[in-house]
Amino acid sequence: MRTQSSILLMAVGAGVLLTAMITTNSYLATWNSPLIASWFAHGSGAIVAWMLLMVKLRPAQAAATSVPDNKPPLWSYLGGIPGALTVLLAAIAVNSPLALAGTLGLMLTGQILFGLVSDLRGWFGVIKCRFSTLDLLSVALILCGSAILIIYR
């Protein structure tokens, strides 16, 4: 039970951070261009990630004597490209008639659909599994919610 509560809190926290990031990024895009706002968001994120990495690696470097030769697959390095495009397109979409809620709903739907297709096909080394009715129900509910937000905005 404790693990489920912490996972739920992390999921809510990630949603809050995503909304705050997209709101800030779209506000920056109104003053400049979406591309500059995207560069600012990714540049500040890269600096914070580098600082956290340096803090984490400092004690580990003194204790580590050998480094294992486990290299990630080459496709894992492409993770930043869709993320950068997501931030750029979100800044464009949020400043359009679609607004923030519709943009987030459609982005979530796209991510869920891609995850379902990846699971079905076994892409990226994941174990193949079929759609469940719960998966299809969640996509349908998110699409309906997005449609309601977009139509009755």
Name the pLDDT band for 149 (thresholds 50, 70, 90): confident
Domain boundaries in the chain?
2-68+78-151
Return the minimum-mean-pLDDT range out of 44-48, 83-87, 118-122, 125-129. Answer: 83-87
Name the pLDDT band for 64 (thresholds 50, 70, 90): low
* Per-residue confidence (pLDDT) for residue 1, from 0 to 100: 52
Higher local confidence (pLDDT), 38 or 137 = 137
Name the pLDDT band for 68 (thresholds 50, 70, 90): low
The secondary structure of the chain as a DSSP string is: -HHHHHHHHHHHHHHHHHHHHHHHHHHHHHHS-HHHHHHHHHHHHHHHHHHHHHHHHHHHHHH-S-----PPPGGGGGGHHHHHHHHHHHHHHHTSTTHHHHHHHHHHHHHHHHHHHHHHHTGGGPPP----HHHHHHHHHHHHHHHHHHHT-
Name the pLDDT band for 147 (thresholds 50, 70, 90): confident
* Per-residue confidence (pLDDT) for residue 55, from 0 to 100: 84
